[in-house]
């Protein structure tokens, strides 16, 4: 092993799983940039509708925007798990070679899918289009061949993770993590079939989308958060594990039947109005628990930590998750209001803050933890050279996304009033709402805040490439707090 120099980027000091994790993080950030770029293009089309007409239509930009997001977050999660699995299990990764092969296969598949989205775009109304071009179902547009590839690669990932824990040791965090991965992979299968019945289609489609985003992904980030607080603060494993169990009970206790809030208007029985309304109204509770947990643990340690950017992003995650997923979701989850907000910009307001707040933030935190190690456990505390970069990227990204959220919310309020309440969702009502100055101002401001977000991302990428370079101090040793005072 080569000598470790603090501050120098050197993968020789990393384990096999950690090197693989860095590859996943690299692709994740590339796709994050693609998400923001195509989001800006799609947003631009609201204010300049002639832009891209018939060569890069809104549907294409929007599809790449949301697919890049889903895939970069999955890459971020997979990378995070590969990063922590060996340390958590206390042994080397099982099946490293096949894990690397799966990474390249998955990345090749993603590349082909994106190129086909951009250059082929659509196909004839035949089953072959669904298999080879575009499935045409929001968020899971990937054609069927890619679905099968994804399932195989996720299978390899699961084998690596479960195998490593089985060979090494299990913990509370790893137990929850592995069971959650089983559910996460299993849900994807619910989206892999064709039916002519749109109600049936959407019923199972929500099994994938909701039970991922509002259940299994949340528990996955709960595991990452638990591990992250141990890593950054030296929090007690016993305490974070207990919190993790509480979060799982509350998350699955509310989120599984919270699925019902997507079953209000798709032809499904009316009992879903009560079940979906009630349980989805409870969904913010575990997110409050996560805020309390993160802030309490940070407070107990008087915010003394070994990695300032990572802890800052973990705190951003706790609040972003609560406000974006919790508060913004709750605002329009009851059927009495959802009848008027369903399918309006209100939803995209919620989507922007929730996906960023709940998921983008925590993946960025883990990447900072990984980079610290990749640079020889370099110091990342107060007084770090060029720390303005991580601070300003954090500010610009958060302010940018919150700005977009507010602009879209105003547009959504207006759309709900004019199109839904006044005009009853006719086509002329839809366009009447789209023409009003409130709506248009919302769209202009969304684009402005989108540019701010993009600036934050550029700064983030610069910081990720350079943070810790030239620093010679090592990170301080964290002493794990005793389980009970």
Q: Scanning residues 224 to 253, which ones bind other proteins (CB under 8 A)?
A: 238, 241-242, 245-246, 248-249, 252-253
Helix, coil or strand: residue 474: strand
Q: Does 424 bind other proteins (CB under 8 A)?
A: yes
**Binding to other proteins, residues 451-470 (CB under 8 A):** none
For 309, the enclosing helix (H) or strand (E) is helix 308-320
Q: State yes or no: residue 23 binds other proteins (CB under 8 A).
A: no
Output the smallest distance, CB 157 to other proteins, in A: 22
Q: Which is nearer to other proteins, 19 or 332 (CB)?
A: 332
Backbone angles phi, psi at 378, to 5 degrees: -70, 155
For other proteins, the binding residues in 90-109 under the rule CB under 8 A are none
CB of 245 to other proteins, least distance (A): 4
d(CA 56, CA 33): 18
Binder among 107, 134, 164, 405 for other proteins (CB under 8 A): 134
Q: Should residue 212 be labelled a site residue for other proteins when binding is judged by CB under 8 A? A: no
Q: Which residue has the tokens 């169990």?
A: 245
Q: Provide the minimum distance between the beta carbon of 164 and other proteins in the complex, in angstroms, as a whole number.
A: 22
Residue nearer to other proteins on the CB measure, 125 or 299: 125
Residue 404 interacts with other proteins (CB under 8 A): yes or no: no
Question: Other C-beta atoms within 10 Å of 288: how many?
Answer: 15
Q: Which residues between 271 and 300 bind other proteins (CB under 8 A)?
A: 271-273, 275
Closer of 19 and 420 to other proteins (Cβ): 420
Residue range at the interface with other proteins (CB under 8 A); choices 147-155, 300-308, 361-369, 432-440? 432-440
- Site residues for other proteins, 309-348, by CB under 8 A, read 339-340, 342-345, 347-348
Which residue, chain included where needed, has tokens 């508060």?
327
Binding mask 346-375 for other proteins (x = CB under 8 A): -xx---------------------------
- Choose which of 278, 392, 417, 430 interacts with other proteins (CB under 8 A): 430
The window from 254-262, 288-296, 356-364, 368-376 that contacts other proteins (CB under 8 A) reads: 254-262
* Nearest residue (CB) to other proteins, 231 versus 342: 342
How many amino acids of this chain bind other proteins (CB under 8 A)? 89
Q: How far is CA 252 from CA 189, 278, 329, 356, in A?
A: 20, 14, 16, 21
SS3 123: coil
Find the part of the chain contacting other proteins (CB under 8 A) among 14-22, 195-203, 226-234, 467-475: 195-203
Give the one residue of 54, 382, 383, 477 binding other proteins; rule: CB under 8 A. 54
Q: In the structure encoding, which two tokens stand for residue 473, read together? A: 């101090």
Q: How many Å apart are CA 399 and CA 484, to the nearest integer?
A: 38
C-alpha radius of gyration, the chain, whole number? 22
Take residue 26 and report the two structure tokens written for it: 């690299």
What is the rounded (10 degree) CA torsion for 80, 84, 220, 153? 60
Pair 192, 210: CB distance under 8 Å: no
Q: Is 265 helix (H, G, I), strand (E, B) or coil?
A: coil
Answer yes or no: are the C-beta atoms of 82 and 28 closer than 8 Å. no
b/e map of 263-275 (b: 16 or more CB within 10 Å)? Answer: bbebebeeebbeb
């Amino acid at each position: 092993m080569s000598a470790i120099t603090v501050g120098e980027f050197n993968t020789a000091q990393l384990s096999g799983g950690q090197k693989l994790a860095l590859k996943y993080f690299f692709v994740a950030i590339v796709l994050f940039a693609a998400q923001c770029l195509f989001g800006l293009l799609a947003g631009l089309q609201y204010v300049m509708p002639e832009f891209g007409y018939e060569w890069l239509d809104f549907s294409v930009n929007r599809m790449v925007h949301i697919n890049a997001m889903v895939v970069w977050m999955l890459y971020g999660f997979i990378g995070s798990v590969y990063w922590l699995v060996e340390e958590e299990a206390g042994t080397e990764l099982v099946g490293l070679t096949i894990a690397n092969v799966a990474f390249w296969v998955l990345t090749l598949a993603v590349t082909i899918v994106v190129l086909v989205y951009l250059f082929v775009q659509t196909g004839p109304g035949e089953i072959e289009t669904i298999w080879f071009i575009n499935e045409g179902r929001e968020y899971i547009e990937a054609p069927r061949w890619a679905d099968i590839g994804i399932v195989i690669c996720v299978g390899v990932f699961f084998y690596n993770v479960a195998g490593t824990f089985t060979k090494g040791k299990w913990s509370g965090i790893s137990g929850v993590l592995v069971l959650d991965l089983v559910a996460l992979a299993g849900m994807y299968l619910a989206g892999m079939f064709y039916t002519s019945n749109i109600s049936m289609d959407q019923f199972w489609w929500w099994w994938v989308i909701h039970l991922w985003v509002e259940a299994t992904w949340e528990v996955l980030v709960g595991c990452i958060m638990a591990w992250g607080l141990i890593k950054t603060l030296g929090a007690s494993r016993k305490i974070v594990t207990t919190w993790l169990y509480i979060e799982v009970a509350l998350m699955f206790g509310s989120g599984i039947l919270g699925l019902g809030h997507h079953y209000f208007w798709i032809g499904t029985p009316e009992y879903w109005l009560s079940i979906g309304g009630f349980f989805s109204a409870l969904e913010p509770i575990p997110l409050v628990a996560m805020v309390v947990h993160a802030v309490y643990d940070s407070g107990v340690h008087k915010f003394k930590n070994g990695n300032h950017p990572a802890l800052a992003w973990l705190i951003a995650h706790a609040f972003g998750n609560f406000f974006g997923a919790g508060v913004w979701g709750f605002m329009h989850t009851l059927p009495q209001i959802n009848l008027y907000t369903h399918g309006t910009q209100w939803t995209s307001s919620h989507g922007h803050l929730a996906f960023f707040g709940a998921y983008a933030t925590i993946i960025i935190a883990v990447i900072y933890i990984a980079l610290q190690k990749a640079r020889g456990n370099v110091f990342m505390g107060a007084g770090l050279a060029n720390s303005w970069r991580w601070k300003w990227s954090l500010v610009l990204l958060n302010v940018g996304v919150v700005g977009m959220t507010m602009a879209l919310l105003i547009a959504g309020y207006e759309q709900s009033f004019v199109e839904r309440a006044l005009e009853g969702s006719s086509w002329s009502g839809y366009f009447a709402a789209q023409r009003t100055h409130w709506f248009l101002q919302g769209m202009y401001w969304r684009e402005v805040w989108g540019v701010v977000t993009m600036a934050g991302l550029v700064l983030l990428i610069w910081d990720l490439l350079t943070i810790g370079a030239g620093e010679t101090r090592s990170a301080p040793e964290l002493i794990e707090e005793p389980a009970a005072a």
